[in-house]
A = this chain, B = another copy of it.
Amino acid sequence: MKQKRPSIKDIAKALNVSITTISFVLNGKGEERKISKEVIKKIEDYVEEINYRPNQVAQSLRTGKSKILVFMVEDIGNRFFAKIARIIEDIAYEKGYKVLFCSNENNDKRSRELIRVFHERQVDGFLIIPSPGIKKDIENLIKSDIPVVLADRYFEDLDVHHVVINNYAAAQNATQHLIDNGYKNIAFISIDTQQIQMKDRARGYRDAVQQAGLSPTVLELPFEEIHKPEGKNKIKALLTGSNGIDSVFFSTNYLTQASLEIIKELDPKLIYDLGIVTFDDNEFFRINTPSITAVAQPLQELGEELMRIMFKLLKKSDKEIPVIKSVLDAELLPRESSKKK
């Protein structure tokens, strides 16, 4: 019933040609290898007729190439990563590559495990949103000569291709925007991490605040507290405390989301008084009342740039490619939430 897929061998038998000849023709080396027009035509026609497709697993085994890329993100369920994933998927498929997505939860153990698994599977390249402590693993990957491009963040003391946005400038600009709108007591709510993208955002915030002669208020939540009561309570305390906070700059989307929920249950009116700017845009920020001012990352551009670099690495004969450090600009989208009321 379930008839076997035809292999080159079957074609060879049917056409009375050697396997080698067929392989050459299929790989477009017919002319080069002086196969006659007639034989080429005969093979091509037959291949078309029986709708033959080479077995990719066998090809992979022989060539060591899998035509599979890995895109490792924090959480594929998160809008930011899912959107980039979609962009990357499209570009990859166009060039005959497939993409395996995986979520590392910004967790080193999980990241390591995933890298190992896919390395074994001989994927051709890694696009990685790295968790904080996997510098060594990235280094090893590169040592074994497999293309790696980091995204969203990188390691200051490890030279790896990466594409990020200018977090410092974006954060400074966003903070300045609040200042320009008359806010005097701007808080910064972020994640407690040493990762470069967050450090840069914090620096941008601090510098803007200090240059304006204001004083910074920073709340940095441990990653694991974000969706737990501890985290919530800290945010509540900040928003309702006697510190006179009149506006908040959120360093990442899930903090904003969590905080908006808190505000909603704490005191729905508060949202009309509080100045808000957040990192990472979302369709609902436009819809929300008041609409939420956001720093939008250039997702399309980011995905394209990532893939541009990846393909460059995949194509390289063996000449070393100098490390590419691509820095894109984020865009501030001013909306109602940052207008002084």
| Cβ A122 vs Cβ B76 within 8 A | no
| Cβ A66 vs Cβ B57 within 8 A | yes
Closest residue on chain B to residue A81 by CB atoms: B82
Per a CB cutoff under 8 Å, which of B54, B100, B122, B291 touches A57?
B122
A77 at the interface (CB under 8 A from B): yes
Q: Given contacts A101-B76, A102-B89, are A284 and B284 in contact (CB under 8 A)? A: yes
| Cβ B261 vs Cβ A56 within 8 A | no
Per a CB cutoff under 8 Å, which of B56, B82, B264, B287 touches A291?
B264
> How far is A83 from B288 in the complex, measured between Cα atoms in Å?
22
> How far is A321 from B122 in the complex, measured between Cα atoms in Å?
34
Per a CB cutoff under 8 Å, which of B61, B82, B101 touches A61?
B61
Number of interface residues of A (CB under 8 A): 52
User: What's the nearest-Cβ distance from chain B to residue A307, in Å?
Assistant: 16
Q: Given contacts A77-B86, A98-B121, are A2 and B58 in contact (CB under 8 A)? A: no
User: What's the nearest-Cβ distance from chain B to residue A26, in Å?
Assistant: 14
Q: Given contacts A144-B2, A288-B287, are A86 and B76 in contact (CB under 8 A)? A: yes
| Cβ B121 vs Cβ A56 within 8 A | yes
A39 at the interface (CB under 8 A from B): no
* Chain B residues near A102 (CB-CB < 8 A): 89, 93, 98
A19 at the interface (CB under 8 A from B): no
A53 at the interface (CB under 8 A from B): yes
A33 at the interface (CB under 8 A from B): no
Q: Given contacts A2-B143, A120-B55, A261-B286, are A103 and B89 in contact (CB under 8 A)? A: yes
* Chain B residues near A61 (CB-CB < 8 A): 55, 57-58, 61
Which A residues fall within an 8 A CB radius of B?
Answer: 2, 53-58, 60-61, 66, 75-79, 82-83, 85-87, 89-90, 93, 98-103, 116-118, 120-122, 143-145, 257, 260-261, 264, 268, 271, 282-284, 286-289, 291
